[in-house]
Structure 1
Amino acid sequence: MNTTTKNAPLATRTRVVLLAGVRSLGLSLWMLPVAVLCSTLTLVSISLVPIGIGVFTTPPLLGAVRKFADVRRRLAAQWYGIRIPSAYQPIPQNATPWTRTSTLLRDPAVWRDLRWLQVDMTAGYVTALLPALLLLYPLEGFAVAAGLWRPLSRFGGYWYGFVHVTGQGSALAAGALAAALLLLTPFAPRLLTAHFRLTRAVLGASQAELAERVRVLTETRRDAVDTSAAELRRIERDLHDGAQARLVAMGMDLGTVEMLLDKDPAKARQLLAQARQSSADALTELRDLVRGIHPPVLAERGLGDAVRALALRLPLATEVSVELPGRADAPVESAAYFAVSELLTNAVKHSGADRIWVDVHHAEGMLRITVTDNGKGGAMAGAGSGLSGIERRLGTFDGVLAVSSPAGGPTMVTMEIPCALS
């Protein structure tokens, strides 16, 4: 209890203590069987990974453990304001079972969850149950003193704590002990708080993991800034060498036309036609430049229609499936669009495929995009490849990229970006 609770009226303090007891009882009733079941099944499943069976059972079981841990995090925050940080590595849903399993087993947060299950079944269970016992055990002592000892005496007496109840006198002694224990009930909220602090100590991400998370996010943000600077330089170069040069030439032609109107009308008409063509070329270059910055169809119609427009311009047969009930934030849509654009360009240039499939949908707070081709395979997301650039682009938004591209194909690239849709 904090100072505010200590200084609160008796009714308020009683309500706080009773609420802690109810929470303690409810928590202890379900946490032990769930922890034992999750721990047993998960450890058995991990042991079966080498023979292949565990590859299919481990990811869903570890997902269940994570949900169980997230429930405890939520209760700790809602009941006592104890924040338990987590730092799970994101995993694309459409990754292969081997990829998902290996990624999960390399995640320190997963092993921390498994260690927490062992603590939760022992010390964690005791600290969760004690607040309820502080409230219920004195009630049992009062019941014994009130006469419950009589039916129990048929079995050679009854032990209440260290008091052996065999008659009314010893029953009253048990009632006195219950009254003394009742004085300890105000500590019930503190014991439940201790349970969640123990949970935080075992389940919470370590400072080293959080620091590593910050480092990764810092790098991805730096990459985003560098990419933006490079994009600005490209735009400046394209404007200077393209549209600006054509507009300057068009201005010079119009100046010459002005001088030749009376002297040489035929030559003036020729220069006017040349200026008209220069203006058309400049307009085309400006449109291409704008499309490269942020395609109008993306701004007006959203990611789904923008990806469909990309597919229509490809020389290969492309099927696009879109299930988006709303729109993501503009920066997320832009990152996803250009990532898909680069993947489609790579598939056309390097895969040798004759068919491409694109799937775009949103589920469980994730924008998931899968680009698949039936080409020769062999794509890798190593340093220097186009895929690594896409990975950095997605990393700006905590997104991930997974590549499945065995020799001989097919190639499947899955992207995930956490986001909410409007």
Structure 2
Amino acid sequence: MLLALALRWLAFGWMLIVALVSGQIQRPVEASVALLATGCWTAWLTLAAVRRTRLVLAMDVAVAIALTVLYGYVFSPHAMLTNHPSFMGAYPAAAVAACGVVYRVRGGCAAGLILGLSLPFAYAANEIALDELSFLQVMTMIGSGLSYVLLGGTIGAAARQLDALHERATRDGERAARMAERQRIAAQIHDDVLQQLGRLRGSIREMSAGPVLDAVAEGIARQESALRGLGSAEPDPPPPGVVSLRSHLAQLAQRYTGVPVRLVTAGPFPLPTGMATEIVAAVAELLTNVVKHAQANQVWLTVLPDGGDITVTVRDNGVGFRTDQDTDGLGLRLSVRARVHRMAGSVRIRSSPGHGTEVQLRVPKGNGHA
């Protein structure tokens, strides 16, 4: 609307210039009254910060029609058939633009059509016989009318797109604020509450001598799991057919109570359901292998973006193995690779005796199965 108002003032300045230098105005009194009324109308719209109601917009279109017809009346006869600068300039277009801003495409096209239909009356006021117009002159008049319709539709479409961008920016800002607050709470839970609960659970297990203390330790473990789930919960539900890889991997990691699994991700990673299911299944096999064979006391599960791919890494501090000789490792590699290869991905394994094992799954984002 501010752009339409700026256009309005520029058009009004053009009207003043044409009125002063054109030398074609045959009725200066009527032209002066029109300029004064247009200036007052423009100033009222600006200073009063008028809300663009239906009545105000209708009056604005009426002013534009009046200026269009008046142009033919105050100028010398047949001036509209020449290339002389228009007295009304782009001022009527500002009314069409205002309707497009408020009522979008339909409003802008309707205002442009109404204004275009006033052109024959302007020709008549300029003493031009419509039945004597040549084909080119008729097409010129029709083209001028259609330009108003096109302007109104374009402004309406642009206003709709700007509204959509504004709403999206607002939603993204609110989501970012929620995520920042969630991360702050999750960090506080991890640094304070979870650490205290972990130490308390360890102390209880050391001194446990009966089912009562065992039950207390189990209850503390359940509260730890619930708090971890609260910290990793997604701020917004994913769309249908899409799931959060981070959420599913967090649920998987919580099931392995014998070996602590630390999950580190760079985001929720929304993926098609089929793709996420395959990745989680492959990671589950890797974690099961760690529990059975690695003799590890810590596992790191990392999910990071890498260009157009997703890399999921499972690393432990266990005993490791020689990748060229370990037959159990060979079977695991074949099982995991079969899942990853179905998604056009790749698997890389690094391990050596006494130095743990690292398995990296690389999957292209666009090769999932919904």
What's the TM-score once normalised by structure 1's chain length?
A: 0.28
TM-score scaled by structure 2? 0.31
